[in-house]
Amino acid sequence: MSKMANYEGPTVTNNVNSGNMIFKPILEDGVFRFDCSTNDRDAAFPSISFVNSKDRETPITSDKVPSYIPAFECLLGQQVVKLELPLGTSLYGTGEVSGQLERTGKRVFTWNTDAWGYGSETTSLYQSHPWVLAVLPNGEALGILADTTRRCEIDLRKESTIQFVAPSSYPVITFGPFDSPTAVLISLSHALGTAFMPPKWSLGYHQCRWSYVSDKRVLEVARTFRQKRIPCDVIWMDIDYMDGFRCFTFDKERFQDPKSLVKNLHDNGFKAIWMLDPGIKREEGYHVYDSGSENDVWVQKADGTPFVGEVWPGPCVFPDYTQSKVRAWWASLVKDFISNGVDGIWNDMNEPAIFKVVTKTMPDSNVHRGDSELGGCQNHSFYHNVYGLLMARSTYEGMKLASEKNRPFVLTRAGFVGSQRYAATWTGDNLSTWEHLHMSICMVLQLGLSGQPLSGPDIGGFAGNATPKLFARWMGVGAMFPFFRGLSEADIIDHEPWSFGEECEEVCRLALKRRYCFIPLIYTLFYFAHTSGTPVATPTFFADPKDPSLRRLENSFLLGPVLVCARTLPSQGLDNLEFTLPKGIWLSFDFGDAHPDLPALYLKGGSIIPVGPPLQHVGEANPSDDLTLIVALDEHGKAEGVLFEDDGDGYEFTKGEYLLTHYVAELQSTTVTVSVYKTQGSWKRPNRRLHIQLLLGGGAMLDTWGMDGEVLQLILPSEDEVSKLVSAGAKQYKNQLENAVQIPDLEEVSGPKGTALTRTPIELKSGDWVLKVIPWIGGRIISMMHIPSGTQWLHSRIEINGYEEYSGTEYRSAGCSEEYSVINRKLEHAGEGESVVLEGDIGGGLVLQRQIYFPKDAANVFRIDSSIIARNVGAGSGGFSRLVCLRVHPTFNLLHPSESFVSFTSVDGSKHEVFPDSGEQFFEGNLLPDGEWMLIDKCLGIALVNRFDGKVVSKCLVHWEFGTVNLELWSENRPVSKESPLRISHEYEVVKFP
């Protein structure tokens, strides 16, 4: 071992609580483990993220030293790690997160959370990746992993600075700096493991709904895909296939014969994927519950009894996947389940999500009797973030037990760094909005930059009604994502490709055919992801990491050497087709399918990509058995590319039963020669025709045919003829776009949940606040973003929650859903003094009126003046005798439910702290808050203060819900007249809280 391998920096004693971290090289050159001290190193728990925990513990011989050394501070049981990098460094990673691609200015918390309807500022989603990828100004890259399963704050608000805060003690692992971001991700995969090799069919299109409620409906959907010749490979079964939501069962009426259903699907080229949740109904006589109880597999409360939480079946118990015996028990259930013809399994609700509790999950005090190699017996706060990973691992292992001839396909909602070894993932319960379409690109890329290449969003949005144009655009972009599935929730309009009219259906058909043409390329990229740890979809800046102008691009991404340029805003159309291209040669191409709602495609000069025919499903026999190579020469007249082939499933490829072909092209004089440079593997080359398409630019190309394996040549025409071909190609491409059948730009769609998602909210801004207001449903405020703290205090679906007002003491009385008119809108200069006045008719001659404004003298607050006003009260109107109560009803998001509470001083001077376990409480009379109360987040160290006029507020209500809290202000309950309206004036401010 070299001298440097033992270097531990300055001597650190037990009472030192700050300084530079000590390090040891591990794994391979350029990878270092940092700890606060030798004692901290010895105290650290085993790694669950590393594929082999011993790799993190074992020093290697290395002469390298770190380029950057993190500093630490230990305070009140928290370990704060800070790494300062050169100015101009760009930050990425952080796993499954919403918001912008470049992460500077963001702060997230690793705490797996059921985040239905999340927004761009939501700080915790379904997965946890305490990992940051930093791209330095010179294009080199560095990765840093805080290897802790505990709740961890990743603070990137200070430019070029990475800070982790989590309970002591945990090591930090750095990877690099290496020459490129790809090199960092390859090195990361040596620690975390690579992605599982997906079966080829799983790269096709997947169709899902919550739920296809019967086998008849499943077969109807499958038939329609084939009748309409729209490609699709997989139909998914959500929870309604089960008998009363009991896992490993089938509803005896609606899914009487699952084997027969799957056979029918298989005969028509479909695979079937079925959902399994961790919540097992507590019911004696139910075989899974009885077996689990007999084997003592359940997560326990602190008193040693099984924890019971409410989920879909009602009261449930939960397997403790931290124990090998429990994972084996679950795997045996999965093995038996597969015998029903199950092709893949969907693990949902495994954060784990629990209903009817404010924290949305199990109590931290629950006990997991984990294996020693995972960390031993610990409370839930230790294992919470890896519960989903361990469930996915158990499911994956059960599928392997069921069949050694088929590769498992598992999809998991919850996960941790390392989950890619066992499962794909998706970006959770998103919304059918243009914002979420745009954000889906960033989310897929961030997952890829955090080691998880197989991911994608719910195409079209899970919650709410898509419009035809939004759905078509999303399908066009989604066709180029690694994982490609459409899913929508119950009680909305249908979201199948044919559900939005003929024009949208045709765009979806084109997008899906394009996807299937790219299957050879995508499958090849996943082979390298599995064997080498390379990413599949990457940000545009991967084409030139040294170019800072590319680092914030969010409407384009790379799929290997293909640049996908998408229009993710509704206003982008034929008049906005310009995209930022990296330096070098980028040649546009398509499949004769150019359309304004499909992404534009460019191939990097020097590249060859394999494409196939537009099949109906991956396993469909290809009558012509043709392969196409699309070639883009670089400035030296050369190009190269690879194609991986095997039988599409199983593990024979690990024994050499595959064919990896390296194709090259070279221009000499006026002749372009395309040939096989080298091959690997023992798989026999198919006897097939080879179609060469040489891109010239502007959509123009030359082509020739031959047999695969032969040397093929194309003769370039003169420069003048090439120029004419390019000009004609560009003209043809433009004509295709202009003559494409346009999707109607509908602002309204029919359906149970109405049309609200297609309208544009009013946005109000000040120095500190950004608010979004929707007049068309109750004048509701759906977003309250506080800019300095980066917190989204209120983020709601348009149809429900947010900031509402009622005209009665009962829940959802008049005022919460009536359409409001905008009476006045003022936009002052410099972002100050903006205001809006809204008014809604609530009947009986009464109106609810609200003014929202930012006072010029206090840009750090915003104020709301609400009133119930009599307009036309007279004889017979009912207004004089009608009792009304102005009830202000904001639903605030709890960013950290277990760390939040409400605090105030009452009129009589008594102090009150109201915690989530208190349920619902009224305060009135002398116990009424004395003009203000605050919602405190101890984790963030800040509070949302609500000040109000105590003379007009007669009651205050605190109501804790599933990850939210209502802080309500109630007026007195009385009739109103023109002379005596009801008014409540109040304001909000965010302050620091020690």
Catalytic residues: 348, 351, 429
CA-wise closest residue to 146 among 235, 24, 49: 49
CA 965-966-969 angle, 5° bins: 155
Name the residue type at position 269.
G
284-301: b (≥16 Cβ within 10 Å) or e: eebebbeebeeeebbbbb
**E strand or H helix at 395:** helix 387-402
Token pair 């999950």 is found at 361
Instruction: Let me know if 730 is exposed, middle or buried by CB neighbors in 10 A (0-12, 13-18, 19+).
Output: middle
Distance CA 810, CA 916 (A): 23
Instruction: Give the residues across from 826 on adjacent strands.
Output: 835
Helix (H, G, I), strand (E, B) or coil at 4: helix
CA-wise closest residue to 705 among 632, 631, 626: 626
Contact between 367 and 376 (Cβ < 8 Å):
no
First to last CA, the chain: 47
Contact between 347 and 357 (Cβ < 8 Å):
no
| Strand 659-668 to 600-604 pairing | unpaired
| Strand 206-207 to 234-237 pairing | parallel
Dihedral angle sign, alpha carbons of residues 53, 57, 61, 67: positive
Distance CA 490, CA 487 (A): 10
Q: Which two tokens stand for residue 120?
A: 């761009």
Distance (Å) of CA 915 to CA 384, 537, 894, 962: 22, 44, 12, 14
Phi and psi based region of residue 8 (left: phi greater than 0; alpha: psi -120 to 50; beta: remaining): alpha
Distance CA 620, CA 611 (A): 15
CA-wise closest residue to 443 among 125, 913, 62, 872: 125
Contact between 347 and 411 (Cβ < 8 Å):
yes
Helix (H, G, I), strand (E, B) or coil at 853: strand
- Contacts of residue 656, Cβ cutoff 8 Å, sequence gap at least 6: 681, 682
Contact between 865 and 804 (Cβ < 8 Å):
no
Distance CA 319, CA 317 (A): 7
Distance (Å) of CA 709 to CA 165, 630, 645, 695: 56, 16, 14, 21
Task: Name the DSSP letter for residue 64.
Answer: -
Task: Name the DSSP letter for residue 146.
Answer: E
